[in-house]
Amino acid sequence: MEFKELNKKEMGARIRARREAMNMSRSELGALLSVTGKFIADIEYGDKGVSLKNLYKLTQVLGVSADFIIAGDESDMPSDEKKRKLNENIIGSLSVCSVQQLDCMEQIARLYVEGIVNKE
């Protein structure tokens, strides 16, 4: 069986994204974990690893699973983070469209959302 290598930079990026989504500073997160803001920065940049104890604390403070922090399992991603990521993906996909195509997509999206709202 082959195991995927742990990528500390990606793990740190997920921690940073969630921390920022919660409008929390590194110092604030560090205080909750009983570490310094510099240590949080080192984790976010992938320069330092996370102990099991701090991983557990991160899951509690950030409201995400260990799977999300370690491997990026999005099934357990908080809805606000998932929504932000979906918005980024949609914008990225539409960036190659012409103005006319974008206008058409906007109309389709508006009609779709109106249909959902009217059904509720």
- pLDDT one-digit tens code per residue, 35-59: 999 999 999 999 999 999 999 999 9
Domain boundaries, given as residue ranges, for the chain: 8-77, 80-119
3-state helix, strand, coil in the chain (%, to 5): 70, 0, 30
Upper half-sphere CA count for residue 42 (Cβ side, 13 Å): 10
pLDDT of 30 reads 97
Mean pLDDT, all residues of the chain:
87
pLDDT of 34 reads 96
**Which CATH number applies to 8-77?**
1.10.260.40
Q: Express each pLDDT in 8-21 by its tens digit.
A: 999 999 999 989 98
This prediction's pTM: 0.64
* Triad 13, 15, 19: Cα angle to 5°: 115
**Of the listed ranges 78-87, 99-108, 109-118, the one predicted with least confidence:** 78-87
Q: What percent of the chain has pLDDT over 70?
A: 92
